Structure 1
């Protein structure tokens, strides 16, 4: 598959290395990578979120942004950035984020031939989980059309992951998928959480960055390099707070 070939050529500290493919594990070809005993970012948030320091959270987010910057520099779009598609490694006592599941990745010069999201009765066809999907990929019923994948789609989803990690809350956690679709189509978005101990990591600057990632206008969203630089600034500010 083209997607497998794309993944195989990606070599970066924040990208899961694809070792190859194998048969015999079902009707489809299986992809082989190293085992990550700490699981996904989603699992880490569920099991240890309350004990994660803001430094650990910012470093994880920087790793995700770094991985996105790398693939975007090759005109590759991931297409399914969620907390479940980020694996967590433990290196020298610190958590490190690694992007995985490039089954939906696309080269920008190509086109995604399937409809990104079709609503047919109660059946939802989508390339990524709706709670993480950019609004321009959400559309009503209609004939399938070619949709060109963009790096801005990934950056919208990055904002969702940033929200999840900083608030320890899944986007739209309290409503069903069909209601999420309705809210997105109505132009609604997730409000800033009430200030509490659980959301104390959501500073004005971090919330503003999340909202920039969620801009309705894709061209207004930050690129991965901008997010990397923002997170470096946040980490530097933590160092200054400690030394002062």
Structure 2
């Protein structure tokens, strides 16, 4: 591992411990402790969730998941996101790979290595050194941001954009932009503001598709809040059995 990578990993590791240690919510994977002697950096200790990531879970079980259970997964992610935002924390890398599903089928957000606290006075060691995020769910402003432009990188609205991708993934069963095989082409789509296309198979009702469009609005301030998302997802989960 090169000398350049160690400081970046150290900063990310410190940031994740700092943030994870403050969190306490049923839809957030808890940090149990830190263990040493597993490599260059200490290891974070969290519970083992055998269903794995949301992406893996959907690949294995989407066809058998009732619509109500799909909405319940989205409600869980929304509640976890609302909690983070209430604590003035931006996740920064919300994706199907950073949501785990526990033994009871409950979704729980994890991986806070790209997260940051958002009050004005904050240690620079806690800030991401460059825009992050997993491309298939990433908000376009992350790709456009200058690394020194902290406010554009730390946006609750960007998390909301990513939730739109998770909503599409849960309802369709495939990751956003699954039809684009090349990274460069995907980056171009996101930068141009071309959002994921609606599935040809009618698996998403108009109301849900319209809500995703709100999450993907190009003007970040016009996107719904995490609390708005919770309200919608809780209502969906209650209506659909």
Which TM-score tier does this pair reach, normalised by the shorter chain?
A: 0.7 to 0.9
> Counterpart of 2:42?
29
Higher relative contact order (CA 8 A, sep 6+): 2
> Counterpart of 1:102?
112
> Counterpart of 1:122?
none
> Counterpart of 2:176?
171
CA shift in 2, pair 1:2/1:190, >3 Å = closer
Structure 1 residues not aligned, in runs of 5+:
117-126, 240-244
Q: How many residues align?
A: 220
The 8 Å contact of residues 114 and 146 in structure 1, kept in 2 or not, is answered as no
- 5 Å matches for 1:88-167? 88-91=101-104, 95-109=105-119, 110=122, 112-116=127-131, 127-139=132-144, 144-148=147-151, 149-167=154-172
The 8 Å contact of residues 58 and 234 in structure 1, kept in 2 or not, is answered as yes
The 8 Å contact of residues 86 and 100 in structure 1, kept in 2 or not, is answered as yes
CA shift in 2, pair 1:49/1:139, >3 Å = same
| TM-score (norm: length of structure 2) | 0.86
**1:113 positional shift:** 4.7
CA RMSD between the two structures: 1.6
CA distance in 2, matches of 1:228, 1:144: 31
**1:129 positional shift:** 1.1
Q: Deviations over 1:40-59 (max 9, x none)?
A: 11111111111111111100
**1:238 positional shift:** 2.1
